[in-house]
Structure formats: structure tokens, C-alpha cells
């Protein structure tokens, strides 16, 4: 099984907003999404990153236009989903599954590019999103216009997956493909229904912890950002328990990576190992 991550865009932020005690210097954050070449499931995407649907699309709502103007993501054209798939000899039609770790725009904006894919996501979070008004969803950072019209008919909910119990510091989670190769690990705090992905069978077990933190340094140095960054969290009280789970995983030899950390990892396409 091959796992790689691409950088869909760059977003600038002041360091002290994402690292407690940091400076006011600007940090260019990545907006990662992943590609798994799975021996049974075939090509599987992990989210889609930012795409033009969220940043320049002519049909964007006023709210989505304001969001783009505020964050000003700089798209990385070379590592948009379609060029990356082409590098591996793949087309959008080859992608049978997109794992949707949570419903924020920088993770779902390209879902409509994959008309034949099923979507593995939190069906509980989807039910809550459906029950909210459009304005209520905006307060949760969810732009419903970015979901394909047939999202629900293609949803493969986590509740249908077998649960693997945690063991010796290794988190448990939902077995996404029924073979123990990829587990969806509950990572509460940042967004409704957010889960990370554990790859327990790699030479060094990897936990892609999505947006549980922005920087690895915030985790390992216990420098989780406080106010005002905590205002962006769905459940600020869950941030530290989730971080504690990740730190335990590090102590037993696991590797943690995040969506937005600017430092390259061996799984990134623009690194020597990618």
C-alpha cells in the first residue's frame, strides 16, 4: 500500500495564532490532502484540499467569497488533485473512494471532481449538518454548496464499520476497508465529526491527525494555541484530550502528521521520499 500527500494550497497565518508563545511572523501553512493506492480498494483520496470551487468559482455564494477573501489561499496548481492523479497514471474516474475527514471547505471543495466515488465520512456529523439551517452550518465552518447534490446517496458512514480496540498506546478506530490497514480515529475538538487516519502496518505506524493541531511543534512542545484560536474549535474542551492521545502515540514510536504543518514529511510529494 502506498500513501502520499500533496499540498493543494498555501495559507498565511501569524505564528502566535497557531503556536502558543509564538511570534507575529507569518507562517505559510500547507493544505494537504492524501492519496492511498490500496491493494483492494484501489485509488483512495483523503479529502481534496482547496480547489478553484472554493476560491474562484463563479457560482460561489457571498459567504464563500468572503471566506476566500479573508483567508486568501494561494492554490498550488501543480499539486491540485487532477494533476497529482495524472502523475500516477490515474483519472478522476479511477477514484472509487474519497475519505472525508471533516466538512470544512479546505477538505471538501473538490468532491464534485469525483462523480463515481463513494464518500467515507461521519454519518452522524452529516445528519447534524442536514438538520441545521444554512446559517447555522456557516457558524460551524460548513459550506453546504460544496457538497455534490448526491452526497448522501454515495455516503458510506463510519457507523457501519467494525471498530478496532486501542492497544498499548495505539489508538483504536473504525476499520475502513475491513483489513486493518486504515483506521478512522476519533479526533474531537476542531470540527464536528473530525477523524484522523491511522496506518498501523507501515514500517513506522502513521497517524494523519488532520487539523487536531496546525503544527507538530504545538503537540510535542505542549504549546497548543489558546485564545483566540480556540474560538475556531467545535469543542475547545476536547482539544487537550485529543492532543494527549496523539502524544501517547508518539511515545510508543508512532509518527504524527498534520494537514497544515509547513514542514515537509517523507510522505509529501515535494519531499525526497514522496
The sign one gets for the Cα dihedral 20, 259, 5, 164 is positive
Q: Is the pLDDT of residue 13 over 80?
A: yes
Q: Is the pLDDT of residue 249 over 60?
A: yes
Q: Which three cell numbers stand for residue 85?
A: 492523479
pLDDT score recorded for residue 8: 98
- Helix/strand/coil percentages in the chain, nearest 5: 30, 25, 45
**Domain map (residue ranges) of the chain:** 2-257
Q: Which of 222-240 are b and which e, b meaning 16 or more Cβ less than 10 Å from the residue's Cβ?
A: ebbbeeebeeebbeeebbe
Q: What is the pTM of this model?
A: 0.96
* Contact yes or no for 262/270 (Cβ under 8 A): no
pLDDT score recorded for residue 227: 72
The residue to which cell 502520499 is assigned: 4
Q: Is the pLDDT of residue 150 over 50?
A: yes
Q: Is the pLDDT of residue 226 over 90?
A: no
Q: Is the pLDDT of residue 272 over 50?
A: no
Please tell me which residue, 191 or 273, carries the higher pLDDT value: 191
pLDDT score recorded for residue 265: 97
pLDDT score recorded for residue 145: 96
Q: Is the pLDDT of residue 271 over 70?
A: no
* Helix residue spans in 104-171 (DSSP H): 105-108, 123-131, 134-139
Q: Model confidence over 174-211: pLDDT tens digits?
A: 999 999 999 999 999 999 999 999 999 999 999 999 99
Q: Model confidence over 25-61: pLDDT tens digits?
A: 999 999 999 999 999 999 999 999 999 999 998 899 9
Among 37-46, 85-94, 234-243, the least confident range:
234-243
pLDDT score recorded for residue 264: 96
CATH fold of 2-257, please?
Metallo-beta-lactamase; Chain A (3.60.15)
Amino acid at each position: 500500500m502506498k500513501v502520499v500527500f500533496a499540498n493543494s494550497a498555501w495559507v498565511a497565518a501569524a505564528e502566535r495564532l497557531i503556536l502558543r508563545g509564538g511570534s507575529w511572523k507569518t507562517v505559510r501553512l500547507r493544505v494537504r490532502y492524501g492519496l492511498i493506492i490500496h491493494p483492494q480498494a484501489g485509488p483512495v483520496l483523503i479529502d481534496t484540499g482547496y480547489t478553484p470551487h472554493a476560491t474562484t468559482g463563479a457560482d460561489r455564494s457571498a459567504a464563500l467569497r468572503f471566506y476566500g477573501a479573508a483567508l486568501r489561499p494561494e492554490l498550488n496548481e501543480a499539486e491540485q488533485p487532477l494533476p497529482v492523479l495524472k502523475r500516477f497514471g490515474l483519472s478522476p474516474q479511477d477514484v472509487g473512494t474519497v475519505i472525508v475527514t471533516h466538512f470544512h471547505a479546505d477538505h471538501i471543495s473538490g468532491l464534485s471532481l469525483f462523480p463515481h466515488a463513494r464518500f467515507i465520512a461521519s454519518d452522524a456529523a452529516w445528519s447534524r449538518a442536514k438538520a441545521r439551517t444554512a446559517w447555522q452550518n456557516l457558524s460551524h465552518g460548513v459550506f453546504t454548496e460544496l457538497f455534490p447534490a448526491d452526497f448522501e446517496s454515495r455516503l458510506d458512514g463510519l457507523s457501519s464499520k467494525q471498530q478496532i480496540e486501542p492497544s498499548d498506546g495505539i489508538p483504536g478506530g473504525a476499520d475502513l476497508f475491513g483489513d486493518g490497514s486504515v483506521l478512522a480515529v476519533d479526533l474531537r475538538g476542531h470540527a464536528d465529526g473530525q477523524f484522523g487516519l491511522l496506518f498501523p502496518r507501515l514500517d513506522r505506524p502513521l497517524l494523519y491527525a488532520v487539523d487536531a493541531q496546525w503544527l507538530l511543534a504545538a503537540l510535542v512542545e505542549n504549546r497548543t494555541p489558546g485564545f483566540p484560536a480556540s474560538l475556531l474549535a467545535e469543542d475547545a474542551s476536547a482539544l487537550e484530550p485529543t492532543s494527549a492521545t496523539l502524544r501517547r502515540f508518539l511515545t510508543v514510536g508512532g509518527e504524527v502528521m498534520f494537514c497544515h504543518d509547513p514542514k515537509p514529511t517523507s510522505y509529501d510529494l515535494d519531499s525526497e521520499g514522496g
